[in-house]
Structure 1
Amino acid sequence: MQNKFLVPVALLSVVLIGAFGSKLHQDKQGVYELTLATGNKTGNYYPFGQAIAEVVMQQNPRLRIKVVETQGADENMRRLQANEAQLAIVQNDTVAVPQGRVIASLFKEVFHLIVSEQSGIQSVSDLKGKHIALMAQGSGSYSSFWLVSQHYGLKASDFKSTPGSWTEGTKLFASGEADAIFWVLPPGSDLVSQLLQNTRANLVPIDQGAAMKIKLPYLEANLIPKGTYKAAPAVPDTDLPTVGVEATLLVRQDVAPEIVKEITRILFEHRRTLVAANRLATMISEPSGSGSFALPIHEGAQAYYDREKPDFLAENSDVIGLCFSFVTLFVSWLWQLRARFLQKQKKRADKFNLIILNLIQRIRQAGSFDEIDRLQEELFDIFKQVIGDLDRDRIDSDSFHSFTFTWETALKIAAEREKALRNLSLVSHDLKADLTAVKKMEN
Structure 2
Amino acid sequence: MQNKFLFPIALLSVVLIGAFGWNLHQDKQRVHELTLATGTKSGNYYPFGQAIAEVVTQQNPRLRIRVIESQGAEENMRRIEANEVQLAIVQNNTEGGPSARVVAALFKEVFHLIVSEKSGIQNVADLQGKNIALMAEGSGSYTSFWLVSKHYGLKESDFKFTAGSWDDATKLFASGEVDAIFRVLPPGSDVVRDLLQNTRGKLVPIDQGAAMRIKVPYLEADVIPKGTYKADPAVPDADLPSVGVQANLLAGEDLDPIIVKEITRILFDYRRNLVAANSLGAMISQPGGSGSLSLPVHEGAQAYYDREKPDFVAANSDAIGLFVSIGTLLASWLWQLRSRFLQKQKNRADKFNLDILSLIQQIRQAKALEEIDRLQAELFDIFNQVIVDLDEDRIDSESFQSFTFTWETAIKIAGEREKMLRNVQFVSNCVESDATLTKEREI
Instruction: Assess, with a 3 A threshold, how the Cα gap between structure 1 residues 323 and 187 changes in structure 2: closer, same or farther.
Output: closer
The CA deviation string for residues 34-91 of structure 1, in whole angstroms up to 9 with x for no partner, is: 1100110111111111111111111001111111111111000000000000000011
Equivalence for 2:271: 271
Give the aligned partner of residue 116 of structure 1: 116
Give the equivalent residue in structure 1 for 2:332.
332
Report the secondary structure of 1:333's partner residue. helix
| Cα distance in 2 between the residues matched to 1:195 and 1:294 | 35
1:6 CA drift (Å): 4.7
Q: Which residue of 2 aligns with 1:158?
A: 158
Measured in 1, the distance between the counterparts of 2:238 and 2:340 equals 32
> How far did residue 234 of structure 1 move?
1.4
State the alpha-carbon separation in 1 of the partners of residues 355 and 30 from structure 2.
Answer: 50
Contact preservation (8 Å) 1:217, 1:292: no
SS in 2 for 1:66: strand
- What's the TM-score, normalizing by structure 2? 0.93
2:212 — aligned with what? 212
User: Which residue matches 2:304?
Assistant: 304
Q: Distance in 1 between matches of 2:419 and 2:8?
A: 87
What CA distance in whole angstroms lies between the structure 1 residues aligned with 2:199 and 2:222?
25
Cα deviations by residue, 1:214-254 (Å, 9 ceiling, x for unpaired):
11111001111111111122111111111010110000111
**Contact 2:360-2:410 within 8 A present in 1 as well:** yes
Q: Number of residues paired by the alignment?
A: 440
SS at match of 1:39: coil
SS of 1:114's equivalent in the other structure is strand
Distance change >3 Å, CA 386–CA 291, structure 1 → 2: closer
- Conserved? CA contact 2:246–2:291, under 8 Å: no
State the 1:200 CA deviation.
1.3
Does the 8 Å contact 2:124/2:206 carry over to 1? Answer: yes
- Output the CA distance in 1 between the equivalents of 2:154 and 2:215: 17
After TM superposition, the structure 1 stretch with the greater mean CA deviation from structure 2, 367-376 or 105-114, is: 367-376
Q: Distance in 1 between matches of 2:421 and 2:3?
A: 98
Aligned in 2, Cα 1:12/1:432: closer, same or farther, shift over 3 Å?
Answer: closer
Which runs of 5 or more structure 2 residues have no equivalent in the other structure? Answer: none
Cα distance in 2 for residues equivalent to 1:128 and 1:235: 25
Identity between Structure 1 and Structure 2 (%): 75
Instruction: Supply the distance in 1 between the matched residues of 2:140 and 2:350 (Cα, whole angstroms).
Output: 36
Partner residue of 1:142? Answer: 142
- Correspondence 1:376 to 2:376: yes
Where does the alignment leave 5 or more consecutive residues of structure 1 unmatched? none
For residues 329 and 270 of structure 2, the distance between their equivalents in structure 1, rounded to whole angstroms, comes to 36
Alignment RMSD, CA only?
A: 2.4
Which letter maps to 2:88?
A
1:119-178 Cα deviation digits (max 9, x unpaired): 111111111111111101111111111111111111111111111111222222222111
Give the drift of 1:426.
7.1
- 1:31–1:63 Cα contact (<8 Å) kept: yes
Name the CA shift for 1:321/1:4 in 2 (closer, same or farther; >3 Å). same
In structure 2, give the amino acid aligned to 1:274.
Answer: L
TM-aligned CA distance change 1:427 to 1:55, over 3 Å = closer
Which deviates further from its counterpart, 316-325 or 86-95? 316-325
* TM-score after normalising by structure 1: 0.93
Go from structure 1 to structure 2 and tell me whether the alpha carbon gap of 1:323 and 1:277 turns closer, same or farther (over 3 Å shift). closer
Query: What are the equivalent positions in structure 2 for 1:340-419 lying under 5 Å apart?
Result: 340-419=340-419
What SS does structure 2 have at the residue aligned with 1:227? coil
More displaced, 40-49 or 390-399?
Answer: 390-399
Change in 2 beyond 3 A, CA 1:438/1:386: same
Note the C-alpha offset of 1:347.
2.2
From the superposition, tell whether residues 323 and 110 of structure 1 become closer, same or farther in structure 2 (CA, over 3 Å). closer
- Residue aligned with 2:108, SS: strand
Q: Deviations over 1:370-419 (max 9, x none)?
A: 21221111111111111111111111112212222222232233234345
The Cα shift of 1:434 comes to 11
Q: Which has the larger displacement, 215-224 or 353-362?
A: 353-362
